[in-house]
Structure 1
Amino acid sequence: MVQIPMTEHAPLPSRFLFISDMDDTLLGDDAALSKLAAALMQNRGQIVIAYNSSRPCASLRETLAQNKDIPKPDYLIGALGTEIERFATGEALDAYSRNLKEGWQRDKVAALMEQLGFAAHADEFQTEFKASYHVPSAAQFQRVLQHIREAGLNAKIIFSGNKNLDIIPPGADKGKAVIFLQGTLGFRPEQVIVAGDSANDREMFVHTFKGIVVGNADEGLKSLSSPNIYHAKSSCAAGVLEGLRHWGVAHPKPLNRTHKNHRRFI
């Protein structure tokens, strides 16, 4: 079980931790992204930003370097919640990742998937704690699930987009990474806002965080029902901005910045 470090001070009530998926959530509509970026930067002193993607942190950094319209985050969560880094320094939060090693047998996972005949995704999408494959149907996903169980491998399997299968340690996923970062930074659950579009974002929405499901989301996310989840009508970044306004964060005018110098990061 991941241990959440304690902090000395809770954040100010007016501050928020905003955690968003990248592809097809932030990205996908350049004009809307510019508007979202402006709203976030207007209130930047009171919003801690993290991007949470199935892609490794290295891949996210490449995208951020290429697209200057994306607001620079404070943290990156990559490879389906198996990596957490400080954006400014690139330092990994080792207290999180070291808990993923126990019982994780990546070599055996890779050998089994090769035996089953499934093609691995490109090397850039493979990491120490994430093995990614092309699996063409839900029926084939069930086949993999059965073989993983029969082999006694300690792993979590995430199937998304009806073709992408990721195998990660059981102690990791996008939601667990959010919980760790929330606890590490001292935010209360109601101060956390998450946004996503696909099945691999689902674990962010099963907690008591404020959620934004963008309009172009998978049916699996659209079917979620909770007072804590806002279903945006707009897609991609426009849906994120719509959701932030619903939750009272991205105001047309800046929030009270009295305490903007009291941001406490690890």
Structure 2
Amino acid sequence: MPQKSVSHLLATDLDGTFVGEGEELRKLLLHFESLEENVTLVYVTGRHLQSAKQLIDEEGLPFPEVLITDVGSALHDFSDSEIGNEWKAKIEEGWEPERVRAAARQIEGLREQELPVSCRVSFFAEDHTCAEELEKALRSSRIPHQFVYSSGRDVDILPLQAGKGKALSYLIQKKKWQDANVLIAGDSGNDLDMLLLPYPAVIVGNCQEELKNVSGDLIYRAKGHCAAGILEGWKHYFSRTDTRLAK
């Protein structure tokens, strides 16, 4: 399917990033409306599809071009479903969720989250110690996986080839969006791999502790919280008076 041309792209986490400060989100969207260029939205969230759609409805969010869910283990392109199907097939190779669950059952302090998906296995952890024990157990058992710990309690075990950064990179390549002006926004540890991609990124001011010391040549640390931080980062990179990264 021919891909539409995109000049500006915001790839953003939802909770605590795009969502969380209603008035600031309104200002961000008004800014986008004032631009001559259209801004394409991609939401990259830890929520599963139904939960993400519910949040979009409840908050009255603009519907995105693409919705990456389940910490990057599911991809929903609403104009080309084949891309999501290809991503699913790519990451399923070697994925053994029952072995992950078996390992977790041996560790105290983990409570599995009830999810309507099989593309990840997630837990609430009482503390970082039991999360680390699970990571060690998975490694010693040589279970192919991607380990993500965020917000001091959330443990996501993903297929080895999954993750927010890998899913976003795959999407950009498949959609031929490599030449777009991209801004990536996040607030927690499950955003880290996409924040470290070779694109401009913003860590919002209300970020979780695990991102407090993250830095990089393309990472802007905003003072503003949630959407205010995104707007701060957007103006830093893409304002007409600052053309350092404008194409």
Aligned to 1:64: 56
Aligned to 2:11: 19
Q: Normalising by structure 2, what TM-score?
A: 0.88
> Is 1:80 the equivalent of 2:74?
no
Partner of 1:158, secondary structure, is strand
- 1:134-213 equivalences under 5 Å are 134-188=124-178, 191-213=181-203
Alpha-carbon separation, structure 2, partners of 1:150 and 1:245: 46
Q: Normalising by structure 1, what TM-score?
A: 0.82
* CA contact 2:9–2:180 (8 Å) conserved in 1: no
Alpha-carbon separation, structure 1, partners of 2:200 and 2:133: 35
Aligned to 1:101: 92
Partner of 1:80, secondary structure, is helix
* CA contact 1:182–1:192 (8 Å) conserved in 2: no
* CA contact 1:213–1:232 (8 Å) conserved in 2: yes
> Is 1:232 the equivalent of 2:232?
no
- 1:249 Cα offset (Å): 5.6
* CA contact 1:198–1:217 (8 Å) conserved in 2: yes
Deviation readout 1:199-243 (Å, 9 max, x if unpaired): 110001222111011001123323222221111110011111111
Structure 2 counterpart of 1:164, one-letter code: D
Aligned to 1:112: 103
- 1:191 Cα offset (Å): 2.3
Aligned to 1:262: none
* CA contact 1:39–1:250 (8 Å) conserved in 2: no
Deviation readout 1:20-79 (Å, 9 max, x if unpaired): 0000001111111111122233448622210000111221111111221x2221110000
Pair 1:237–1:9, CA change in 2 (3 A):
closer
Aligned to 1:132: 122
Structure 2, unaligned runs of 5 or more: 242-247
Alpha-carbon separation, structure 2, partners of 1:208 and 1:18: 14
Partner of 2:67, secondary structure, is strand
Alpha-carbon separation, structure 1, partners of 2:3 and 2:68: 23
Tell me the percent identity. 26
Give the root-mean-square deviation of aligned CA atoms: 2.5
Structure 1, unaligned runs of 5 or more: 1-6, 252-266
Aligned to 1:55: 47
